[in-house]
DNA sequence: GGCCCGATTTGACGTCGATCAAACCGGGCC
DNA sequence: GGCCCGGTTTGATCGACGTCAAATCGGGCC
């Protein structure tokens, strides 16, 4: 694959304009933001940035998944967030400090848009729809990170998995089927589990009517899952 | 104690103006914000708001400590954040939803200022120093909540306690002494531990030169703590 | 359709921290 | 200074999850 690194073309601009972050921007702000976007493709496992590097840009994900994580002194890793298509990340540094506070790594082939923080700071200064979008995104991330803390502290592995399945479940009751959009090891990291623990959690959910075959998960009875 | 609930007087306005959130506001925005502040005193253990209630206001803490927490179906509680004097909380709902997502409870006698969300939304619309302050506060809370997730996932109880002590340690090396500003059970909740586990963590730090007497903690050698 | 390699599962084990109960302490009060 | 009570510590036990190693699976590729 050739190394792509270019300004956003029409298709990419359209894709970006539909994200939660940009949907509510004024036409003028949106255009200026997109004019500054740089598109890059990266292969699986590529590093996007490292903890401690100067934070010059934040990113929007067009396709693929990205892992935000930190590494302990003894080399163990803990995921902070998994980003999917349409997500933006490292936006907490627009007004939150000048170095990245975690590593960002492509979990698979990804395509992403890069935005200069300083440019966006100036844009936010001039256009309130930009600051509103930033505030909404920050609030959203803060709330879901709080959820993450509570989940870790309150729920066991099977409960966290059941929770996860319920949040992606289209229907409210009866049987359902879900296809994981990524590897199970990535899901394990999201839930703060070792891959083995995720596997065991799935197998303990068998008695509740959950069947796993590869990336496809069958739920016998959604109501029953809520009881876990 | 008589139930106080009044508009901010001169002393309280001065106190609020010094908080991280309000320090950088334009004089006009600051004045308008303070004009809308309502001061309340509450006794220890009082509920400030409950999860699920309509989120009409956010708060700034003048004195005392406040616990933000959620309760699981079986009644166990998990703290999300402990707020101290000068902190603001529930600001994530200014642009993040219309019901509170957790409970807020006074951990001891507190005095706090209440701000109407809708008023502040309008203020932010008109004055960019307000939205900047909100973004900075949200970023800050997001980053520290991410730290919390990582700490929970990567560190053992003694490591979390050592971390905590180091963040409040005035000096970088040699001996030091710290007085906890609140009960140990509150600290335990902050760190995601049962009180018993905190106690055991302290006693396991004795071999690293940490001595505990009531709320006073003596650190023999700060450098040594960093090695934990 | 079969092969192959990396991802996942399973098994065995150790450690950490939650829980319950009982002993202890310290700080506010008289 | 002594008393009391809520907060803290200690002890014993247990369940949950991490880790390492080995077996197995599944999905992409020819």
CA distance A7 to A4: 10
Instruction: Give residue for tokens 């529930």.
Output: B90
Q: Do A101 and B143 touch (CB under 8 A)?
A: yes
| Distance from residue B195's CA to nucleotide D8's C1', rounded to whole Å | 8
Partner A contacted by B70 (CB < 8 A): yes
Contact criterion met (CB below 8 Å) for A131 and B124? yes
User: Which residue is associated with the tokens 């616990």?
Assistant: B67
What is the token pair recorded at B130? Answer: 């307000």
H helical segments located in chain A:
10-17, 20-23, 27-35, 117-126, 128-154, 157-167, 184-190, 195-204, 222-226
Once rounded to an integer, what is the mean pLDDT over residues B36-63? 94
B2 has a pLDDT exceeding 50: no
Contact A135 B145 (CB under 8 A): no
Q: Could you tell me what percent of chain B has a pLDDT over 90?
A: 84
The C1' atom of C30 and the CA atom of A78 lie apart, in whole Å, by 54
Given a contact cutoff of 8 angstroms between Cβ atoms, the answer to whether B57 and B114 are in contact is yes
Biggest CA-to-CA distance, chain A: 57
State the number of CA atoms in the 13 A half-sphere of B83 facing the CB: 27
pLDDT at A1: 40
Q: How do strand B5-7 and strand B47-49 relate by DSSP bridges?
A: unpaired
- Looking up tokens 């007085």 gives B179
B93-150: per-residue pLDDT in tens?
A: 999 889 999 999 999 999 999 999 999 999 999 999 999 999 999 999 999 999 999 9
Q: What is the pLDDT of residue A103?
A: 96
Give nearest nucleotide to B197 (CA–C1').
C17
Smallest Cβ–Cβ distance between A142 and the set B76, B141, B153 belongs to B141
List, as ranges, residues 119-138 from A with C-beta within 8 Å of B. 124-125, 128, 131-132, 134-136, 138
Q: Closest by alpha carbon to B41, among B88, B6, B68?
A: B6
Q: Specify the pLDDT at position A204.
A: 94
Instruction: Find the length of chain A.
Output: 228
B150/A146 Cβ within 8 A: no
Nucleotide showing the shortest C1' distance to residue A213 CA? D26
Question: What pLDDT is attached to residue A3?
Answer: 52
Nearest Cα residue in chain A from B91:
A139
CB B102 within 8 A of CB B66: no
Assigned token pair, A20: 């939660």
The H or E element spanning position A110 is: strand A110-116
**Residue B166 banded pLDDT, cuts 50, 70, 90:** very high
How does pLDDT run along chain A (228 residues), one tens digit per residue?
445 788 888 999 999 999 999 999 999 999 999 999 999 999 999 999 999 999 999 999 999 999 999 999 999 999 999 999 999 999 999 998 899 999 999 999 999 999 999 999 999 999 999 999 999 999 999 999 999 999 999 999 999 999 999 999 888 888 999 999 999 999 999 999 999 999 999 999 999 999 999 899 999 999 989 988
Binary contact (B143, A97; C-beta < 8 A): yes
Helix or strand holding residue B6 (H, E): strand B5-7
Q: Residue A194, SS3?
A: coil
Cβ-Cβ contacts under 8 Å, B136 against chain A: 95-96
Average predicted confidence (pLDDT) for chain B: 93
What DSSP assignment string belongs to B59-127? EEEEES-EEEEEE-TTS-EEEEEEE-TT-EESGGGSSS-SB-SSEEEESSSEEEEEEEHHHHHHHHHH-
List the B214 CA – D6 C1' distance (angstroms). 14
Query: Rounded distance, CA A89 to CA A139, Å?
Result: 13
Secondary structure element (H or E) that encloses residue B223, with its range: helix B222-226
DSSP state of B214: T
3-state secondary structure of B17: helix
Q: Which residues contact A209 (CB under 8 A, 6 or more apart)?
A: A219, A220, A221, A224, A225
- Residue B172 has what pLDDT? 81
Express each pLDDT in B58-102 by its tens digit: 999 999 999 999 999 999 999 999 999 999 999 999 998 899 999
> What is the rounded CA–CA span in Å between residue B29 and residue B31?
5
Give the integer Cα–Cα distance in Å for B133 and A78. Answer: 30
């Amino acid at each position: 694959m050739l190394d792509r690194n270019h300004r956003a073309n029409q298709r990419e601009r359209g894709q970006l304009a539909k994200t939660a972050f940009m949907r509510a921007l004024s036409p003028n702000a949106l255009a200026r933001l997109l004019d500054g976007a740089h598109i890059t493709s990266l292969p699986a496992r590529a590093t996007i940035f490292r903890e401690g590097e100067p934070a010059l840009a934040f990113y929007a994900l067009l396709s693929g998944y990205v892992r935000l994580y930190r590494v302990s002194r003894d080399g163990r890793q803990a995921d902070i967030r998994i980003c999917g298509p349409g997500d933006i990340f490292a936006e907490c540094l627009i007004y939150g400090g000048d170095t990245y506070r975690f590593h960002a790594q492509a979990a698979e082939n990804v395509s992403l848009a890069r935005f200069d923080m300083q440019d966006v700071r100036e844009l936010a200064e001039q256009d309130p729809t930009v600051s509103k979008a930033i505030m909404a995104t920050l609030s959203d991330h803060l709330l879901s990170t709080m959820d993450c803390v509570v989940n870790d502290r309150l729920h066991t592995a099977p409960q966290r998995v059941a929770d996860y399945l319920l949040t992606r479940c289209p229907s409210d009751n009866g049987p359902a089927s879900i296809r994981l959009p990524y590897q199970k090891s990535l899901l394990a990291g999201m839930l703060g589990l070792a891959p083995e623990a995720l596997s065991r959690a799935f197998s303990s959910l068998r008695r509740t009517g959950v069947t796993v075959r590869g990336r496809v998960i069958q739920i016998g009875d959604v109501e029953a899952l809520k009881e876990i």
